[in-house]
Structure 1
Amino acid sequence: MPKRKKLPKVPDYEGMGVHSGNAEIQKARPLQSLSETDLTLPEFKILDAYLARINSHDNSKRTVRLEKGELEKALGVTRILKDDLNKRLRHLFQIIEVRDDNKRKGFKLINLFEEADAEQDDDGLWQITLTCTASAREYVFNIDNLGYLRYRLKNVVNLTSRYSYVLFLYLLDNRFRKTWSIDLIDLKALLNCNADTYKQYKYFNDLVLKKCHKELCEKTDISFDYKPIKRGRSVSAVEFTVATVSDELANASDQLPEQLSIIDFDDKPQEIEYGGELANLLGSAACDDEFSPEQVRVLQDLVIKAVPNGDDIERCDYLIHQIHKMNAYDKDHKTVKNRFNYLRRMIEQELKEKENILCSQE
């Protein structure tokens, strides 16, 4: 019997930066509705590998080449069969429905990609060139006004469950809320768990939620807890509480080079530093470059109060969410005359509502 050829070592993400874990994805919120399509986990990962390579602010460069080994890394495998890759890429070319709240009818039909070129070398590693369609560009590039999720590719590479992938993005999108609940029916619809098998919460919990909880806490930078909420004797909703690893004492070996762990800080109260991603976002085109330095400081203070225990990325996510709400309201009503005052009042009103809830609980 001939000796089996040894599989090649899959290299690091050579085209995605020196630190493969730092490859960042910016995904427009309307693409969250892809969870309701029949796209599989490998297909979501191929899309993420594409998004990790683009400059989301340069729509002139919508063709991306994944170098040899990059796709294998993104899918978490050492080798991809030709027929399987062909099937996955073809599936990504289907017409899909994007539910876009900015559209008056609520959704849009698009194709994600218009061209794919795949070449395999003698070692079995693939080089893939992907080009997104013109119809997909508004959900891939210049997405500041749509609102978007930001996460590192390393968070999804090792996931083995489509349920875990979809739940990860849902938790990421809502983590600024810290604790919230979702109706059980809506959660099942989100995860596409509509079969009779999941009718009873007990089986839905055992077969889906428990496994997702274990995988996400082990393989991603989000840790969370959940519990059922009953109405009478039946479970009617699920409450989630999210805390990222950065909120806890992380293992130093898992720390990214630019990150600081809790042990890097002393016990003295920290002064607010007016800089970083939050200040850059407030002074960027996402906010029409219209805020003065003093207005940036005011809004930054409010965002920090609204997300007191979050990091810079979480606060940016919160701010982008508020900007998205403001833009959607302005598009429908055309009544936002002063964006600074409107955004400030939105956040202040939310802080007041939170304070009233806390007072009522005391």
Structure 2
Amino acid sequence: MNKNYLVTKSNYFIMNSSYDLSLEEQKLILTLASMVQPEDEEFKPYDFKISDFMELLGVDTKTKYTEIPKITKELMKKVFEIQEGKKLIQTAWLSSAIYEKGTGMVTLKFSPDLKPYMLKLNNMFTQYKLANILNMKSKYSPRIYEFLKCNEFKKQEYIEIDIIDLRKLLQAESIYPKYNDFKRYIIQRAQKELKKLSDIKFEFEEIKTGRKVTSIRFYIKSNIKVKDETSITKLDTEAPERLDYSYKYIKEIKNIISNHKITSLEAQKIYDSARGDLKQIHKVYKYFKNKKSDNFVGTMISMVKPGVFQEPKANIPTDDFNNYSQRQYDFNDLEKGLLEWQNSEE
């Protein structure tokens, strides 16, 4: 168990499931979710050291060996709903919780009904480090974090949601019935916690119908201050071969650049620089794949930018490097510039 483990959920599940869990219950479920491996075909029984779990949550209590059984027992009673087209699925989180006296261990297993939303996900999923939510104090903050995180990839200026729908998502229809209280104790508190603890932060704008606030516009921003500690792209060795929204494209980029071993982070930088244009990436790599350079990835990042690379004409005299006539680049100067650009991005 480690705070750098990854939690993976389908975006559909995040946006269409409705549940009310205590903060401790949420952290237990998310810790369990972080132990699921990308290659798992079925949910396995996952073993927890009770002491490790309590330490991960920052709880120091002599009654920890009685507290966890209470939490799992209550958790197994809580049935929640997932809207799946015309189907309404009612399910529990756990199918079993097994304790063996004298071992200090508990074995937990997810309900098989959750398999489509947490296993073998190839696209439209959200993934983040467990560290992003472990230190949150409000039970609504992890849910708001997941809602914003799964919309982060859309690259829209803002995400708008009706107050009624936001309350339903948070299972807070009857909590803080006055909007000002709802804003103060749920939205603004989550705003502070995300800014302090997670890899994203947000600003929000109130949209009114008459005098009544009827919807919220969330402006999602990368939280550079915290991102180094919580982003799954900080160390590629800590991440499985799939990253947030661009996993599908990163895999394709790695296939295109098959002659060079590049990390998922490097592939994502190339993808972002090309603004998602895989044809441009393929075109540039075709001509630069045999170039010897101390900064091959940096060269690719620079060349795939829209408008930078011009495909050569076949009837123009060629040079030894790429067998065609091209713009003349001083690659040493280029690499120095790239290093400055990359440092400014960080």
Question: What is the SS of the residue equivalent to 1:128?
Answer: strand
Q: Which residue, 248, 252, 260 being the options, matches 1:281?
A: 248
Alignment of 1:1-362 (within 5 A): 13=1, 20-32=2-14, 36-60=18-42, 62-79=44-61, 81-94=64-77, 96-101=79-84, 104-119=85-100, 126-144=104-122, 147-176=124-153, 177-195=156-174, 197-199=176-178, 201-246=179-224, 250=225, 254=229, 259=234, 277=243, 281-282=248-249, 293=256, 304=275
Q: Measure, in 2, the Cα distance between the counterparts of 1:178 and 1:42.
A: 33
* Structure 1 unaligned blocks of 5 or more: 1-12, 14-19, 261-274, 307-362
Deviation of 1:237 after TM superposition, in Å, equals 1.4
User: Percent identity of the aligned residues?
Assistant: 21
Does structure 1 conserve the Cα–Cα contact (< 8 Å) formed by 2:43 and 2:112?
Answer: no
| CA separation of 1:110 and 1:158: change in aligned 2, threshold 3 A | same
Does structure 2 conserve the Cα–Cα contact (< 8 Å) formed by 1:30 and 1:99?
Answer: no
Q: Measure, in 2, the Cα distance between the counterparts of 1:180 and 1:257.
A: 23
Structure with greater proportional helix content = 1
Give aligned pairs, total: 258
TM-score by length of 2: 0.62
Does structure 1 conserve the Cα–Cα contact (< 8 Å) formed by 2:94 and 2:109?
Answer: yes
Does structure 1 conserve the Cα–Cα contact (< 8 Å) formed by 2:45 and 2:108?
Answer: yes
| CA separation of 1:259 and 1:194: change in aligned 2, threshold 3 A | same
Q: Measure, in 1, the Cα distance between the counterparts of 2:211 and 2:14.
A: 32
Alpha-carbon deviations, 1:122-181, whole Å to 9, x = none?
A: 9xxx42211223333333321335x32211111111111111111111111112334122
Q: Measure, in 1, the Cα distance between the counterparts of 2:185 and 2:212.
A: 18
Q: Measure, in 1, the Cα distance between the counterparts of 2:80 and 2:233.
A: 38
Question: What is the SS of the residue equivalent to 1:197?
Answer: coil
Q: Measure, in 2, the Cα distance between the counterparts of 1:98 and 1:46.
A: 19
Deviation of 1:190 after TM superposition, in Å, equals 2.1
* Structure 2 unaligned blocks of 5 or more: 236-240, 258-266, 278-346
| CA separation of 1:112 and 1:56: change in aligned 2, threshold 3 A | farther
| CA separation of 1:84 and 1:229: change in aligned 2, threshold 3 A | same
Question: What is the SS of the residue equivalent to 1:27?
Answer: strand
Q: Measure, in 1, the Cα distance between the counterparts of 2:7 and 2:126.
A: 8
Does structure 1 conserve the Cα–Cα contact (< 8 Å) formed by 2:7 and 2:30?
Answer: yes
| CA separation of 1:142 and 1:98: change in aligned 2, threshold 3 A | farther
Does structure 1 conserve the Cα–Cα contact (< 8 Å) formed by 2:81 and 2:90?
Answer: yes
